[in-house]
Amino acid sequence: MKRPCPPARTVRAPAAAGAFTLLELLVVIVIIAILAGLLLPAFRNARVQSFAIHSSANLRQLVAANIAYAGDQGFYAPADDKTNKRRWHGARTSVAVPFDPTLGFLAPYLGKSREITRDPLFTQMLSGQQSFENGTGGYGYNSAYIGGRPGGAWNGDGTRLSARPSQVLHPATTIMFGTSALARADGVQEYAAVEPPFWDYGTGPSGDRPSPSLHFRFAGKAIIGWCDGHISFEAKADRPAGTSPYGGDADTQNLGWFGPDENNGYWNPEREP
């Protein structure tokens, strides 16, 4: 007599050693998300700091180039010429074509490349063809008082009359170059000047504000290259920013001024500190 067979059992594969349950996996994902949230701002800050170091070196090179230019010529590089075809940062054959950055007034003093090294952070802020002043590298010249003189006088060769080193009474508190931009509807573009708080038509600050072009893009700070060669980071002052001819919002784009307004502040080389 045959014995009845035992009922069939469901055979289960043994659980893999060390496998996560769904709950454990969710906990790990949450922990990773929290850590990412804590580390990402620090990573961004480190990246901005790296860009700031790079940009500071670029500005130091620009100031040194202009000081060398003045040593050879007796005056600082002109901001531009009457035709608006040649500027401190480049030259062009007509106003309808881009600037060649190797042909600016400072080009012979900028090393083998003859070009201004671009600010890496500013480069990331640009898109497409939204700049029409290519070649500045993201920096602007104190064209109102160093690359030119109030009232807009010209030399016999058609270049703008610029300042002589002897006219800069306080080089440690006079701006030569700074991080620059100009607001437009879809962001920012390059701009060749860092404009003073007020237009000066030759008789002192007028009270009319230009479009601000000093760019506080490094966590709310602008980088300044001073006439004595030192570099500093400056925070934006709280004051009306004026309007932009290209429809941009200067405040949103971190454009403005710093320091005192009186007698055009740190832009004016003859102002008493």
Tell me the β-bridge partners of 223: 233
Tally Cβ neighbours within 10 Å of residue 132: 13
pTM: 0.83
Instruction: Provide φ and ψ at 187, rounded to 5°.
Output: 140, -130
Q: Give the per-residue pLDDT at 127.
A: 63
Q: Looking at the predicted structure, is the pLDDT value of residue 216 above 60?
A: yes
**pLDDT at residue 5, rounded to an integer:** 56
**pLDDT higher than 60, residue 9:** no
Rounded average pLDDT over 35-51: 66
Q: Name the residue ranges covered by the structural domains of the chain.
A: 27-267
- Most confident option among 49-53, 93-97, 157-161: 157-161
pLDDT at 24: 67
- Residue 43 tokens, joined: 């990573």
- The predicted pLDDT at position 33 comes to 66
Q: What is the pLDDT of residues 112-157, one digit of tens each?
A: 999 999 999 998 888 655 666 788 999 999 999 999 999 999 999 9
